[in-house]
Each structure stands twice: as structure tokens, then as C-alpha cells.
Structure 1
Amino acid sequence: MSDHTVYLVTGSNRGIGLGLVAALVTRANVTVFAGARNPGAPSLTELAAKHPNLHPLQLTSGNEAENQAALEKIKTVAGQLDVIIANAGIANHFGPLVTTPLSQFNDHWETNTRGNVVLFQAAHKLLLASPSGAPRFIDIGSIAGFIGCYQHFAAAAYGSSKAASHFLIKVLHQEHPELISISIHPGLVPTDMGNNAAEILGLQQGEMDPMRESIEGILDRVDAAKTREMSGRFYTFKSNYGGDTWDSETDEIAW
């Protein structure tokens, strides 16, 4: 069993994705591949200049050719893949269902749902062969996709696409017993998407979850996800309930 861990994080040139990459590259015995639509973004190139264990990759969510090419590069450079954090996503429209353009459903499902399918299909052979013996596929979920504890964000296209990505985690859990597949709610953080949701809820930035806490909490969940018993589940990023309306009162969230 190898003590070296190879990560792939998608949607990594800003927001939560960039925060995850920046935290992971400081660890010992890791190689981090940062998938992004624009891998030449200053946020990634500056970080890679400081950390030779970081490799930015051209990887647009849902683009089959780019996903295949990215996985070939990972195989060539690292020879293994142990953890995928599927973070890439868009939230480009907020408004009532009745006025939501149908094109928005196509765009959100292409990136947020089909994107994870394309990613897993491209990565599955290398990922399932992980020398760790416990390969992990992590979906960064969303409060907007909750059904069991629904919160209204006027985001039908985004929310339905994320609910579907959550569903796919259950599918992976059933179809691949050797894979640990989970979704993680990252909190409501001040990213572009988070700020839009906060505006709808009438929240100020000070009322949102700090980015640092979100990143630390997500990685705590990723690190802990090492047994089959943890697979096929949806977790909040933090183990203590903060009293915010968008929080879950338990570690595990109702899908």
C-alpha cells in the first residue's frame, strides 16, 4: 500500500476548488492535479510556481476529450490516482421556475451533473486501481440540491442539477463496492455562487460560513472517508451545528 496520495480537484482556479488545492499542496507525500477550464489562471500558475507537486490541467466539466487527456497526463506523471474531488460547477441563474429559460437547465445539467459522469468514466480505471486500497470519489454537493431539508433559493436549474449529482453518488456506491463515494455540503461561503444565494436569503457576508472553515471541514471529511461504511452518504462540512438555517443538525444530511 502506497503512502503517497494523488488528488484531482476540478473547478480549481477559484473559490472552494482553489482553496482545496492550496491546502492539499502543503501536505507531505502528495501530488495534486488542479483541473480547470483555464489552467493558466494566475491563481494556479502562481501557486504551482511555489509547489512543484501541483500540476494544473486543462479540464472543462463535461468535455470528454479534455477529461480523457487530463487522465492520460495524470497516468503519465503520477502513475496513480487516489482521490477525486469533483468541485466544478456553475450557478448562473436565480429566479422562479416559470421564467427560467430552458437553456439554463441544459447548461447546469451539462456542467454539474453530466460533468461528473464524464469525469468518472474517464477516470474510473486509474482511480479504482488506486494502490491505497480505498479510492475516493468526492462530490461537492449543495444546499440548493437538498430535498430532505429543502431550502428555497429560486435556483431550479442549479438545484435540480446538484440533486442529480447527489443521486449519482448513491449509484457509484452500489456499482463499485471498492470505491468510497460521498457528497459533502461545503457550507454557504462567500464565493460567486455563495454570494448570489446569500443575496436571495438576505444575508450579509458576516453571516456566511468562512472559507477557511469550509476548506478545513471538507478535507476532514475527505480524510476520514476510508471505509465502506462511510460510502454512499451525504455529509455536512462540519460536525457541530452552528444554528444557521442552511446547516444540517447532524453530520449526515437527508438527501
Structure 2
Amino acid sequence: MDLKNAVVLITGANRGLGLAFAREALARGARKVYAGARDPSTVTLPGVQAIKLDVTNAADVAAAAALATDVTLVINNAGIAALGGFLDADAIESAQRHLEVNLYGSLRVAQAFAPVLARNGGGALLNVLSVASWVNGQPLGLYAMSKSAAWAMTNGLRHDLRAQGTQVLGLHMGFVDTDFTRGIDAPKSTPQDIVVQALDGLEAGAQEVLADAVARQVKQGLSANPAVYLLPRG
């Protein structure tokens, strides 16, 4: 898919990866960028159209699809990540919060915009995932569970949308230098680096992008013996 003259909708576009996606889409010649955020007043990037879009709110998603009828690329970027494991006292509640945003929110957006993409020639859907789609453990066990589910959803949507000509791309990466990872002592990619890899892959027709060395190593480790997801994690 060519970003030049594309019409792009990005969820969670007010900061972090979403903001980087908006900047890069404009730099590549997108004709219009809809920047979705729960509070559109927090979208301050010049050249984008801010829209109210809480992916957990069905009415917001429907209103966005009714407004942005010219969209040719949807970037499902909005997500949450909280520390916690499966045996924590609040594990069920935390799992529900993660799934509501990271899985059901992305699915709501995909369902609402699939007809829009079809009417506009097929276009593309990019789902922001993670290496946590493939490996799990403390301190991000519940987050990883939600991303595993989102990966499965992405793979299913790829088949569901093939007939209408929609390219579906899953984006995997390790830690990215955003607000959430500020206190995590680990190697991190910049949002710009991840976004460039993602959009390069999209424009090349890719269905999956492994945007950093960590993602490539983990993907390779899925078929190792023992598999990477069986190894102890801390």
C-alpha cells in the first residue's frame, strides 16, 4: 500500500507510537490523517484531524466510522499495559481491562471500518502487537495474554478481509521508549524507528513486520528446542 495520498485513521494517536505513526504518515504524503484519542484536545500535532475515539466505547467507534468515510488505512494502535501476573489478587479485573482495550477495542474498530475500507478499494489494517504475543511471564503476564489474543484476531481478520482486498499487517516489537517503559531497564527502540519499519513493510505489501532485533530473535525462537516461550522469564 502506498502512503502517498492515503487517508489514515490512527487510534491512540496523541502520544507514543500513535503520535509517531501520525507524523510519519504525513511525512510520506498521506492526504489526511485522523488522529483518534479519548480526549481529542490532547492531539496537538499540526496537520491532523483530531477525533474523539475511545475504542472501548461502541458509540465513539461508530461515530468515527460515520465521520471518516474516506479512510484507506486503519492503524489499531490504542492499548494499555499494566504490570501484573496471573496469581495477583486483582488478576481477573486487570485481565478484563487489558482485553477490553487491546483485544475488543481493536476488534470494534476493525468491524466498524471494514466496510469503509471495502468501499474505498480494500486498503489496509495495521494492528500493533508485541513480542509479548509469543512469550509470557512476569511482570507483564496479563498484558501479554491480551496481545496473544490480539495476534490470533489479526491472523483471523487477515482471512476474513482477504476477499475485499484489505491488507492486514501485524506489527511485533520489543520495548519501545514511551511513557510506559520509562521505568523499565531494558534496551528500547525509538517510536520513530518502529514506525518506519512498520510503514516500510506496509508499503512493500507485508503481512507481518518484525520491527527490531528482539522481535526477530523471539520469532526464530518459537521453533527452537526448547521453544523460547518455555524458557524461564523474570
Secondary structure at the counterpart of residue 247 of structure 1: helix
Structure 1 residue corresponding to 2:154, chosen from 169, 176, 183: 169
Gaps of 5+ in 1: none
Distance of 2:10 and 2:62 partners within structure 1: 15
Distance of 2:89 and 2:210 partners within structure 1: 29
Gaps of 5+ in 2: 223-228, 230-234
Deviations 1:130-181 (A, max 9, x none): 23xx4111110012221xxx25342222111111111111111122212211
Query: How is 1:1-255 mapped onto 2 (pairs within 5 angstroms)?
Result: 4-41=5-42, 44-45=43-44, 47-48=45-46, 51=47, 54-75=48-69, 80-92=70-82, 94-99=83-88, 101=90, 102-131=92-121, 134-146=122-134, 150=135, 152-177=137-162, 178-195=165-182, 199=184, 202-203=185-186, 207-225=187-205, 230-231=206-207, 234-238=208-212, 241=213, 246-249=214-217
Contact 1:8–1:32 (8 Å) recurs in 2:
yes
Contact 1:62–1:111 (8 Å) recurs in 2:
yes
Deviations 1:11-40 (A, max 9, x none): 111100011101212333521111111111
Secondary structure at the counterpart of residue 68 of structure 2: helix
Distance of 1:105 and 1:250 partners within structure 2: 24
Distance of 1:186 and 1:90 partners within structure 2: 15
Distance of 2:144 and 2:218 partners within structure 1: 21
Contact 2:8–2:30 (8 Å) recurs in 1:
no
Distance of 1:129 and 1:253 partners within structure 2: 40
Contact 2:11–2:77 (8 Å) recurs in 1:
yes
Q: Percent identity?
A: 24
Contact 2:86–2:141 (8 Å) recurs in 1:
yes
Secondary structure at the counterpart of residue 138 of structure 1: strand
TM-score by length of 1: 0.77
TM-score by length of 2: 0.84
Contact 1:68–1:122 (8 Å) recurs in 2:
yes
Greater Cα offset, 137-146 or 108-117 = 137-146
Please, what is the CA RMSD of the aligned residues?
2.4
**Amino acid of the residue matched to residue 144 of structure 2?**
G
Divergent runs of 4+, >3 A = 249-255
